[in-house]
């Protein structure tokens, strides 16, 4: 597997994002809304890098599944989302590909009447963006390659990797693809 972004580079950037959120949301009622399951690793690291009081919430959204490497129909489950009314919300996801998932999440979260809604992602595939929305915060712009690691998976494999990698066909075959 080719390493695209190293563990150290990710750690440094997440620390920077945490500091930025801390400055911008000082004294404000912040909720970081992590998108299951890909954002869990990023969510844990980011909240430790953030020095302001905040709430953590989770939402489920998926347009991929199993061995799919291209998006399908978006499914959003907001049953785990607490009261967001009057709070500043940062929707945190692992990757911004076409943008359709984040666009759908924005619409779902607006229904909870938050004070504001912004987005943060670890990875942004700028070449594939197909919506007017862009991430408010992002870790890295990446080329249009299929990536795994640091929460991103293929067939529920590779999430544990501490780096972002580009799997080769042997990696995908070993993971059941």
Q: Which residues participate in catalysis according to the annotation? A: 97
> 89-121 b/e with 16+ CB inside 10 Å = b?
bbbbbbbbbebbbbbbbbebbeebebeebbbbb
To 5 degrees, how large is the angle CA 119–CA 13–CA 94? 40
Neighbour tally for 56: CB within 10 Å: 15
> How many angstroms separate the CA atoms of 79 and 71, rounded?
23
State the pairing for strand pair 164-166/2-5.
Answer: antiparallel
């Amino acid at each position: 597997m080719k390493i695209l972004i190293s563990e150290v580079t990710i750690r440094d950037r997440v620390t920077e994002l945490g500091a930025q959120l801390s400055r911008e949301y000082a004294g404000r009622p912040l909720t970081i809304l992590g998108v299951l399951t890909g954002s869990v690793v990023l969510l844990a690291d980011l909240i430790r890098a953030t020095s302001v009081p905040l709430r953590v919430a989770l939402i489920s959204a998926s347009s991929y599944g199993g061995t799919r490497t291209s998006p399908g129909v978006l499914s959003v489950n907001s049953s785990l989302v607490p009261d967001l009314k009057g709070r500043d919300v940062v929707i945190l996801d692992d990757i911004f590909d076409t943008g359709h998932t984040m666009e759908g999440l924005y619409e779902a979260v607006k229904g909870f009447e938050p004070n504001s809604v912004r987005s943060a992602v670890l990875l942004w595939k700028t070449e594939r963006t197909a919506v007017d929305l862009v991430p408010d915060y992002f870790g890295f712009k990446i080329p249009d390659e299929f990536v795994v690691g640091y929460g991103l998976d293929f067939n529920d494999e590779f999430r544990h990797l501490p780096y972002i990698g580009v799997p080769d066909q042997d990696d995908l075959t070993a993971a059941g693809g």
